[in-house]
Amino acid sequence: MLPLAKMKTVSLSSTQLSQAKQLLKSGEVIGLPTETVYGLAADAANPKAIEKIFKIKQRPTNNPLIVHIANLTQLNNIAQNIPDYALKLAKAFWPGPLTLVLAKQNKINNIITAGQATVAVRMPNHPLALDLIQEFDLGLVAPSANIYTKISPTTKAHVIKGLNGKISAVLDGGECSVGIESTIIDCTTFEPIILRAGMITEQDINAVLVDQIIPSNKNKKSKIKAPGQHKVHYSPTKPLILLNKNDLQLKIAEFAKNKIPFAGFGFNQEQAENWIIMTNDPISYAQKLYNILHDLDALNIDFILAQLPPQDATWAAINDRLSRASHKQELI
Ligand code: TXA
Ligand code: MG
C-alpha cells in the first residue's frame, strides 16, 4: 500500500458547510460530526473516495461501512425489501443512534458492503450532518473517525489528534451528545437481532415492536457478519484494567506500594492522584466515556484502571465497549 501524502487538515465551522460539501463532491474524505461519535465521511457514490477511508483508518476491507442518510428517499435508493418492523424502528428512532442492516440495492458498491448482499443504514441526529448528507443521492458512508481499533472520537480535537495530515478537513459540530456508537440491528431475518449494543437498548426496541420482538432465545444467532465486532477494539494505548470494586482497591494499593503511575475512573473516590468519579446514570456516563479515555491515555502513566459498571441492560453498551477496550488485560 502506498504511503498517504501529508495534507493540511482544516477545521470547518457550521458556517462553512458549503466548503465541506465541495470537498466531499470532489472525492475528499472529511471528519463529520454525528450524535454518537465523529465519522470519517465520503460520498457513497464515489468508490475512489471510499477506498481512501480504508487506507486512512488502516481498516481491513472485509469490514463494511455504514451509509448515513437524511431522508427516506435515500433509504429507498440504498436498501430494498425493507421489512415492516424495520420501518417501524426507523420511524421510532430516526434520526438517532440506530443502524439497520437491510438488503442492499444493486447500485450500492461492494466496497461499502465488503461484498455482502446487505447494507447498514443510519440517519444520524445531528443538524450539520443531516444538512450535508441530503446533498448526496446515496448518502455518505462514514465509519468512526479513528485509526482501526483505537478509541472513537467524540470531539473535533480527537479527530485531529488521530488523523491530522491524513484528511483534508473536519467539520466542527461540538461534542457528541450520545458518545458511543449506534446500536446495530440485523433486519434481514423474520425477527430483528442486535449485532452491536448501543444506547438504544433491547427494551427500547421491544417497546416499539410489540408483535415482532427480538427473540429472547439467544441461540437464534444472526447469520449476518459484523466483522468490526472483534474483541480488541476502542483501545487506549495504555493498558486498561477493568475491575470490580474490591479488586480495584487491591490493585490501587498494589500500584501505590510499587510506585506504578496510573489513572482511572470509578463510582467512588479512591486513594489516587488521577481519579475521575463517574456518574451512575448510564446516559451521561456514555456521553463522557471516550473523552475520559482520550484524556487519561494522554497522561504520563503506565495503566488506566476502570471500575466495572452495573451488569444490567441499561449498561450493556457501556460494558461492551469497556470490555473490548480492556481485552488485552486478559493476557496479563
Ligand atoms: O454510531 C455509529 O454507528 C458511528 C457513526 C459515525 O455513525 N459509526 C460507526 O461505524 O461506528 P464503524 O464503521 O466504526 O462501525 C460500523 C460497524 C462495523 O462493526 C461493521 O462491521 C458493521 O457496522 N457493519 C457495517 N455494514 C454492515 C453490514 N452490511 N452487515 C453487518 N455489519 C455491518
Ligand atoms: Mg468504529
The pLDDT tens digits for 217-240 are: 555 566 666 655 556 677 899 999
Atom of ligand 1 nearest to the CA of 227: 21
- What are the residues whose beta carbons fall under 8 Å from the beta carbon of 83, sequence distance 6 or more? 187
Atom of ligand 1 nearest to the CA of 59: 13
**pTM metric for this prediction:** 0.94
Q: Omega before 95 cis (within 30°)?
A: yes
Nearest CA to ligand 1 atom 19: 228
Atom of ligand 1 nearest to the CA of 142: 6
Of the ranges 125-134, 187-196, 278-287, 292-301, which one carries the lowest mean pLDDT score? Answer: 187-196
What's the gap in Å between 36 CA and the centre of ligand 2? 11
Looking at the CA of 183, which ligand is closest? Answer: 1
What's the gap in Å between 9 CA and the centre of ligand 2? 21
The pLDDT tens digits for 106-126 are: 999 999 999 999 999 999 999
Q: What is the pLDDT of residue 4?
A: 58
The pLDDT tens digits for 146-178 are: 999 899 999 999 999 999 999 999 999 999 999
Q: Which residues pair with 140 in a beta bridge?
A: 43, 68
Contact residues of ligand 1, CB 6 A cut-off: 34, 36-37, 39, 63-66, 97, 99, 101, 113, 116, 118-120, 122, 124, 142-144, 181-182, 184, 195, 224, 226-229
- Burial class of residue 197 in the structure, from the number of CB atoms within 10 Å of its CB (0-12 exposed, 13-18 middle, 19+ buried): buried
Percent over 70 (pLDDT), the chain: 90
Q: Do you know the residue count of the chain?
A: 332
Looking at the CA of 233, which ligand is closest? Answer: 2
Q: Phi and psi for 127 in degrees, rounded to 5?
A: -60, -40
